[in-house]
């Protein structure tokens, strides 16, 4: 299966750059999730890979070969959208057979391909059913089999689970990844759902404003974000602005009212303006002892596996944390609590050029 590289890709629609000097590599057989907000350029990436969109500049390379001008049908790349686009008047078998038929495959070869795809997606017993007679999960598997039946080596998934209910979406995450891996197929999966990306990806590429801002394993991107935007988009974070008062094995920031807050090691210089970011799941609160900050509990929201707590911190604004449900009775709205975190879990970033608010904005 191909190794894919996009080099210096620019795709413009009027004055807007959907992709802006864009570079991306997808490794042979990799399951890569492309994560970002609406309008970041995720779908344009898929369309550029499969040839439905031609870039104004840059190259699309499969296994070292420049295929930028190659027609879509010659790229062996199948794109599956969230709507599945099954032909409603065709059965499961006929939908799968459509690709081989328009490519004039022989009857024996076509039947073998359809039969193997039906077995692969476990729809053999529903081969004569029409799309409206299938569940959402079955429709997805039918669309996937149709995409693969013509020998696709690259699978491009544009938010394929978005239209499904929550329970089915969770069930199909593992199924879709396992199917891709069993085929050894190179897969790019577009999503705006961070949980989906964390569970399914070999690597995650975070895209913003037509550029990749970070790429790495799910753990690397989650635990060691390079920018405040990544820290907040892949797991909500609390942020504090300040100036560096100590640097080296740990970094100490002092905010505008003199509070000192510890974070990870950094190479920032003393006096540099910086931002400390800590995930809300790694933020703790207590009634006793000491903390890095004090906050008044504003509200507590039960969210099943945890309690989401919002607090107001003087001269800073809203802070949040997550608590196990069993601790809900220990705290109440209006209480003042100590807020703390492990310094090794608090990322330190240079202060963004356009300001923190602009850095965190989801377009």
Contact between 102 and 90 under an 8 Å Cβ cutoff? The reply is no
Range with the lowest mean pLDDT among 158-162, 279-283, 322-326, 330-334? 158-162
| pLDDT-above-90 percentage for the chain | 67
Average pLDDT over residues 63-84: 87
> Strands of 4-13's sheet, edge to edge?
16-26, 4-13, 57-62, 65-66
Residues 6+ apart with CB under 8 A from 15: none
The label of the residue with tokens 């990749």 reads 212
Query: Distance between CA 9 and CA 19 in Å, rounded?
Result: 6
Query: Distance between CA 184 and CA 187 in Å, rounded?
Result: 9
Q: What is the pLDDT of residue 163?
A: 66
Task: Check whether 162 has a pLDDT greater than 80.
Answer: no
Task: Return phi, psi of residue 321, to 5°.
Answer: -150, 170
Residues 6+ apart with CB under 8 A from 210: 11, 17, 18, 19, 20, 22, 40, 41, 44
CATH 3.40.50.300 fits 4-223, yes or no: yes
Q: Tell me what the pLDDT averaged over the chain comes to.
A: 91
| pLDDT-above-70 percentage for the chain | 98
Average pLDDT over residues 45-56: 95
* Banded pLDDT at 167 (limits 50, 70, 90): confident
The label of the residue with tokens 């997550």 reads 322
Task: Check whether 151 has a pLDDT greater than 80.
Answer: no
pLDDT tens sequence across 215-263: 999 999 999 999 999 999 998 999 999 999 999 889 999 999 999 999 9
> Among residues 28, 73, 19, which one has the least CA distance to residue 46?
19
Output the pTM of the full model: 0.88
* Banded pLDDT at 361 (limits 50, 70, 90): confident
Task: Check whether 278 has a pLDDT greater than 80.
Answer: yes
pLDDT tens sequence across 169-220: 787 788 788 888 888 899 999 998 899 999 999 999 999 999 999 999 999 9
Query: Distance between CA 307 and CA 323 in Å, rounded?
Result: 5
Which secondary-structure segment (H or E) carries 235? Answer: none
* Banded pLDDT at 138 (limits 50, 70, 90): confident
Extents of the domains making up the chain: 4-223, 236-360
Q: Which whole-number Å values give the CA distances from 284 to 253, 258, 291, 297, 321, in the listed order?
A: 19, 21, 9, 13, 7
Contact between 240 and 232 under an 8 Å Cβ cutoff? The reply is no
Task: Check whether 93 has a pLDDT greater than 70.
Answer: yes
> What number of other Cβ atoms are within 10 A of residue 351's Cβ?
17
236-360 — its CATH code? 2.40.50.100
Average pLDDT over residues 315-323: 93
Q: What is the pLDDT of residue 2?
A: 85
Query: Distance between CA 295 and CA 54 in Å, rounded?
Result: 52
Task: Check whether 49 has a pLDDT greater than 90.
Answer: yes
């Amino acid at each position: 299966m191909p190794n894919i590289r996009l080099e210096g890709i620019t795709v413009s629609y009027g004055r807007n750059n959907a992709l802006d000097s864009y570079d991306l590599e997808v490794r042979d057989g990799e399951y890569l999730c492309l994560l970002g907000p609406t309008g970041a350029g995720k779908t344009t990436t898929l369309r550029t890979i499969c040839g439905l969109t031609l870039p104004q500049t840059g190259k699309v390379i499969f296994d070292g070969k420049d295929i930028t001008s190659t027609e879509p049908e010659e790229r062996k790349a199948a794109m599956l959208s969230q709507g599945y686009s099954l032909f409603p008047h065709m059965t499961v078998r006929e939908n799968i057979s459509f690709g081989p038929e328009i490519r004039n495959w022989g009857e024996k070869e076509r039947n073998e391909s359809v039969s193997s795809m039906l077995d692969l997606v476990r729809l053999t017993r529903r081969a004569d059913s029409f799309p409206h007679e299938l569940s959402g999960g079955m429709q997805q598997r039918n669309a996937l089999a149709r995409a693969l039946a013509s020998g696709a080596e690259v699978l491009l998934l544009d938010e394929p689970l978005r239209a499904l209910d929550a329970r089915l979406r969770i069930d199909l995450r593992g199924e879709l990844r396992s199917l891709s891996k069993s085929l050894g197929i190179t897969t790019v999966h577009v999503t705006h759902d961070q949980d989906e990306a964390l569970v399914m990806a070999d690597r995650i590429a975070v895209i913003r404003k037509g550029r990749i801002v970070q790429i790495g394993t799910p753990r690397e991107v989650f635990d060691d974000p390079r920018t405040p935007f990544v820290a907040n988009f892949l797991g909500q974070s609390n942020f504090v602005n300040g100036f560096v008062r100590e640097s080296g094995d740990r970094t100490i920031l002092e905010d505008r009212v003199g509070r000192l807050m510890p974070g990870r090691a950094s190479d920032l210089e003393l006096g540099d303006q910086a931002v400390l970011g800590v995930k809300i799941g790694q933020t703790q609160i207590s009634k006793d002892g000491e903390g890095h900050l004090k906050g008044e509990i504003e509200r507590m929201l039960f969210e099943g596996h945890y309690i989401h707590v919002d607090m107001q911190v003087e001269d800073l604004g809203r802070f949040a944390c997550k608590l196990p449900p069993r601790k809900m009775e220990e705290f109440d709205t209006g209480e003042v609590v100590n807020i703390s975190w492990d310094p090794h879990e608090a990322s330190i970033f240079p202060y963004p050029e356009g300001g923190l608010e602009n850095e965190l904005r989801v377009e």
